[in-house]
Structures are given as structure tokens and as C-alpha cells.
């Protein structure tokens, strides 16, 4: 025992001190700015990038030769629904294998409230990706007005403003709105502007699931711009898309509105995912007024023949003109708590199983039956590829998944959970040549970092957090498919989060180096 101890002591004394924890040598460095790649080395120490150059001098505990591979900043998903999944699957393998190192939760007006208990739970949990939060307008309104379909009184508005103020002081990065959803849909634009002013005092951002992404998409873009302009803060159209066949092509109109706003000084930007289908609950087929008061109130309305007729007519219209793109087969159930066997079946399939022809009217009855049983999440195939490409290629657009952290093999979720970032790099950079690699990386790194206020991430620069992705641009690709979504992306070789490898040489390391991120800290 003494001899072993002396041998260890002599080794410790004689072993040379290492200059760095990690040196990645001979990489093609895409630094996140959008500038052309350069050949170089990157050194990391204590979770930070400490040197970038050719060559970087010194020694390291770990040295990796990245010849032939591309090194980029870790990807930032500014629109994530990872709150539940981060506790069920803290390794977040679906994200790490895409190169995602940071997620921002609380979008669409939905967030934990108050924030400190959720932050405390996060801090008591080890997980692989960095995690930040927005405060959700819908969550704030729910706490004050429940799901009532009415305007807030002055006193109620003050209570909501106080909740936003507290959330911003607790570390939220800004205010999210879900003006399509209940209860956010019941709020006036003026209410949101007043809450946005509170977030603005702390340097926050406003990110919105707009009131309408179909017939009213242009007016909804204008509303999002107005919230930023009058609220005095940066504003963002999240998961920008054009819903419904008759609206396809209108992204040219919405992008023109956004660029015109920027030209007059409004700080407005966009995020988007690279798919022609969206995903949300089956409640999206229902008129918002019918959902006021919750499931019991909906059931009572559906029991009244005249109200049921109105609700059914609107569901059928949305199947024809909106999220159903003209056919119930375009609405595919992803997850149903009351009947897991429905996952993967379309609304047309469910209608046929009821012994009825899959017409929009009959499918509306099927949708009512589903909602009365608790509802399902669904995938809606109602977006054109032309609009996807036009929005993605716009310089104001960053990439965001609108996905979460699913349990592998459970249900039939949207493939964006597994493939968003890899799909952009594989399909739209390499195959379609729609976006240069360096520009695509900017859309995934420095652009969302700047937007949300993460000024120590998103770039490969000395002093920045060592969130890094090493990938093969010739091989990176999404594998997830709509009917077979549980497939990890290919081509990402190694991922470091805060300087610690979560993925190394294509294998998960089991390490969980993510951090809770708060605004201004």
C-alpha cells in the first residue's frame, strides 16, 4: 500500500501540468458568425473556450484530431417543449445527437409559474443540455382569470403585470404568447402590450405563437410587430408557417411585412422548423370560444344542439380550409392518453372505424368524440414546401424545433423532435443548397443567442462557454419519418456542453453537464 502511494505521489510530482482540458485540432471551424469556415484549433479550459487559432499552443488532458470535420458552436433551440422530458430523459439524446446544447422552454404562452420551484427542481436534477425559460402570457392569464373569455379588469391587469415582473426578476428571458390558444386567445392586443412593457424593463424579448397562421396570418404578423413596437422590446414570430392550401405562398407577403417593420426600426425576427406539418392538440380544430371554461363547459355546449351545430361546422371548416388542408387524412393523431392505440391513425381512419365515410363533416363528429375523451396531440399536414423554403432562407429566420424530449419508442410524435437541426444541414444545406453551411450554423447559434440574450454562447470565441458540435457535413442527416419518428439523426460525431463531452465519437458518454440558464446571469 505504501509503495503504491509513493508511486502515485512521484507520478503526480513528475507529471507535467496540462495547459488545457481539451484541444480540438485541425477542424474546419464554422464560428457562428456566418463568416466562411477556417482551418484551426480550439482549446477549452474550465468549461470555456480559451484559445482559437492555427495552431493553438500547449498541451491538453484530451486532444482530438478533427481533420475533415466541421466544428461549430452548440445549437440553440429557442422554441422547445422539453420541460417534462428533461426529467424523464435527462440525457436528451434526441437533442444531443442533433448537436443541440441549449433549449429555451416556456413558448406559446405556456410556462411554469412561479418559476423558482421549477428552477429548483431543475437544479436538483442533472441533465445534458442547458435550459432556460420564458414566462408564458397564457400561464399568467390562467392564474388570474382562469379560462374566462373576457377582457381583464384594470386590477386584474395589474396582477398579471406583477406576475410577469416577478418572473423576469426570477430569470425569465422574456414573455411568450400563444394568442391562438385558450386563454391567450381571449386577450386583447393592448393587454399583451402592457405585459410586454414589463418584460422590456428587464431587457426581455417577446416571442409569439400568433393568433392565426391561416386566413388571418398577415394581420397576426402585424399584431406581433405592434406588440414589439409599442411594448418597446424585440419581438419574434415563432415557428412561422402558412396554414391551409388557399393560403400557400403568402409567406412572400408576411416576410415583406416583417422586413418593412425592421426598416422603420422595429426589432422583429422569425424562427421556423423545416417540415410541412405542424403539431398541436386536437383542440386546435375547435373554435376558441367553445373551449372557454374547460372540458366540462365544452361538454355542456356540445350537449346543446344549436351550439354543437356551430362547433361542428367550424371544425369541418378547419378540416377543409385550415389545418386539415382539405382532407381528414391530413390530421394524424400522435398521442392519446385515453387510448394509446390511436397514435399514428388519421382522423379519416378514426371516422371509418366509427362506420362512417371520412368526410369533413363526419370527421368533425369524430374530433368531437376525441375531445370529449380528453383530446389527443396531432400532426397536421397543411404547409407547402415553397413556404418552408422561403421562410427558412430569409436572413431574419433562426432554426427552432417546436419539439421536446420524447421517450424513445413511445407514441408517434412529430419527427421534428429528432431531426430538425440535422434536417436543415442535410436537406437544405447539402442537398437543396438553399442555405450555405455557414449561414445555417448562424441561424442555429449566434442568431438565437443574440435574440434571447445569451451573450456568452453561440460563437466560437475565447471567453465563450464551450458548447461545441463536431459533425461531418457530408453525412449529417435526419432519419426520423412521420410514421417512424423514433430515429436519431446521423452525422454528429461529438458534442460538448460547458466543456464536457455528452457525445464522443458517436457514442453517448452518460455525462450530464447542462446548466440552468437565467437572464442576466
Q: What is the pLDDT of residues 206-246, one digit of tens each?
A: 999 999 999 999 999 999 999 999 999 999 999 999 999 99
Residue pair 513/110 in contact (Cβ under 8 Å)? The answer is no
Q: Region 175-180: what's the mean pLDDT?
A: 98
Place of cell 425592421: 262
pLDDT category of residue 448 using cuts at 50, 70 and 90: very high
In whole angstroms, what is the distance from residue 239 CA to residue 274 CA?
10
pLDDT digits (tens, 9 = 90+) for 282-307: 999 999 999 999 999 999 999 999 99
The pLDDT of residue 160 is above 50: yes
The pLDDT of residue 342 is above 50: yes
In whole angstroms, what is the distance from residue 495 CA to residue 472 CA?
12
The residue with greater pLDDT, 12 or 263, is: 263
- DSSP for 79-100 reads SEE-TTHHHH-TT-HHHHTTTE
Residue pair 177/209 in contact (Cβ under 8 Å)? The answer is yes
- Listed by start position, the domains of the chain span 1-104+400-453+462-511, 108-237, 290-380
pLDDT category of residue 521 using cuts at 50, 70 and 90: confident
Task: Report the SS3 class of residue 349.
Answer: helix
Helix pair angle (385-393, 251-263), 10° resolution: 20
DSSP annotation of 330:
G
Q: What is the pLDDT of residue 12?
A: 35
Q: What is the pLDDT of residue 22?
A: 98
Q: What is the pLDDT of residue 13?
A: 38
pLDDT digits (tens, 9 = 90+) for 19-78: 999 999 999 999 999 999 999 999 999 999 999 998 999 999 999 999 999 999 999 999
| CATH entry, 108-237, from 3.40.50.1370, 3.20.20.140, 3.20.20.80, 3.30.390.50 | 3.20.20.140
DSSP annotation of 35:
P
Cβ-count burial 352-385 (b if 16+ within 10 Å, e if not): beeeeebbbbbbbbbbbebbeeebbbbbbbbbbe
Q: What is the pLDDT of residue 8?
A: 35
Tally the residues of the chain.
521
Q: What is the pLDDT of residue 520?
A: 84
Q: What is the pLDDT of residue 16?
A: 56
pLDDT averaged over every residue in the chain: 96
The radius of gyration of the chain from alpha carbons, rounded to an integer in Å, stands at 24
Which CATH fold would you assign to the domain 1-104+400-453+462-511? Urease, subunit C; domain 1 (2.30.40)
In whole angstroms, what is the distance from residue 120 CA to residue 106 CA?
16
pLDDT digits (tens, 9 = 90+) for 69-110: 999 999 999 999 999 999 999 999 999 999 999 999 999 999
Phi, psi of 23 (to 5 degrees): -125, 125
In whole angstroms, what is the distance from residue 236 CA to residue 78 CA?
11
Q: What is the pLDDT of residue 9?
A: 37
Q: What is the pTM of this model?
A: 0.96
Amino acid at each position: 500500500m505504501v509503495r503504491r502511494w509513493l508511486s502515485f505521489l512521484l507520478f503526480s510530482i513528475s507529471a507535467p501540468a496540462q495547459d488545457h482540458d481539451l484541444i480540438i485540432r485541425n477542424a474546419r471551424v464554422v464560428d457562428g458568425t456566418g463568416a466562411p469556415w477556417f482551418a484551426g484549433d480550439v482549446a477549452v479550459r474550465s468549461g470555456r473556450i480559451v484559445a482559437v487559432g492555427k495552431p493553438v499552443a500547449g498541451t491538453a488532458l484530451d486532444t482530438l484530431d478533427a481533420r475533415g470535420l466541421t466544428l461549430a458552436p452548440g445549437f440553440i433551440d429557442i422554441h422547445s417543449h422539453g420541460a417534462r422530458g428533461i426529467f424523464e430523459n435527462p440525457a436528451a439524446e434526441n437533442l444531443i445527437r442533433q448537436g443541440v446544447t441549449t433549449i429555451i422552454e416556456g413558448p406559446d404562452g405556456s410556462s411554469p409559474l412561479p418559476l423558482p420551484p421549477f428552477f429548483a427542481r431543475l437544479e436538483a436534477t442533472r441533465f445534458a443540455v442547458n435550459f432556460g425559460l420564458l414566462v408564458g402570457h397564457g400561464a399568467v392569464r390562467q392564474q388570474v382569470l382562469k379560462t374566462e373569455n373576457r377582457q381583464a379588469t384594470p386590477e386584474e391587469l395589474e396582477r398579471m403585470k406583477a406576475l410577469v415582473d416577478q418572473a423576469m426578476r426570477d430569470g425569465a428571458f422574456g414573455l411568450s404568447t400563444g394568442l391562438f390558444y385558450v386563454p391567450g386567445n381571449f386577450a386583447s392586443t393592448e393587454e399583451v402590450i402592457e405585459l410586454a412593457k414589463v418584460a422590456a424593463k428587464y431587457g426581455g424579448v417577446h416571442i409569439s405563437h400568433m393568433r392565426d397562421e391561416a386566413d388571418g396570418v398577415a394581420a397576426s404578423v402585424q399584431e406581433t410587430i405592434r406588440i414589439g413596437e409599442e411594448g418597446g422590446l424585440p419581438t419574434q414570430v415563432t415557428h412561422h408557417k402558412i396554414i391551409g392550401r388557399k393560403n400557400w405562398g403568402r409567406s412572400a407577403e408576411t416576410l415583406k411585412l416583417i422586413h418593412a417593420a425592421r426598416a422603420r426600426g422595429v426589432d422583429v425576427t422569425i424562427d421556423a422548423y423545416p417540415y410541412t406539418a405542424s403539431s398541436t392538440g386536437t383542440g386546435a380544430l375547435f373554435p376558441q370560444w367553445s373551449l372557454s371554461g374547460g372540458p366540462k363547459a365544452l361538454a355542456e355546449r356540445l350537449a346543446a344542439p344549436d351550439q354543437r351545430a356551430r362547433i361542428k361546422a367550424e371544425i369541418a371548416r378547419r378540416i377543409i380550409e385550415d389545418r386539415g388542408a382539405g382532407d381528414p387524412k391530413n390530421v394524424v393523431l400522435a398521442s392519446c392518453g385515453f387510448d394509446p392505440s390511436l397514435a399514428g391513425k388519421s382522423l379519416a381512419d378514426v371516422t371509418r372505424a366509427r362506420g362512417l365515410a371520412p368526410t369533413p363533416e363526419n370527421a368533425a363528429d369524430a374530433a368531437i368524440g376525441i375531445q370529449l375523451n380528453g383530446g389527443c396531440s396531432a400532426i397536421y399536414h397543411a404547409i407547402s414546401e415553397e413556404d418552408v423554403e422561403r421562410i427558412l432562407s430569409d436572413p431574419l429566420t433562426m432554426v427552432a424545433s417546436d419539439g421536446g424530449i420524447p421517450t424513445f419508442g413511445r407514441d408517434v410524435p412529430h419527427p421534428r423532435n429528432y431531426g430538425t437541426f440535422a434536417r436543415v444541414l442535410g436537406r437544405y444545406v447539402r442537398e437543396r443548397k438553399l442555405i450555405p453551411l455557414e449561414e445555417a450554423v448562424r441561424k442555429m447559434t449566434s442568431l438565437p443567442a443574440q435574440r434571447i440574450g445569451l451573450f456568452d454562447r453561440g460563437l466560437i470565441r475565447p471567453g465563450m462557454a464551450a458548447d461545441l458540435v463536431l459533425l461531418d457535413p457530408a453525412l449529417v442527416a435526419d432519419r426520423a419519418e412521420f410514421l417512424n419518428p423514433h430515429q436519431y439523426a446521423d452525422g454528429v460525431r461529438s458534442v460538448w456542453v460547458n466543456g464536457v463531452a455528452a457525445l464522443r465519437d458517436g457514442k453517448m458518454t452518460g455525462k450530464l453537464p447542462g446548466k440552468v440558464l437565467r437572464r442576466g446571469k
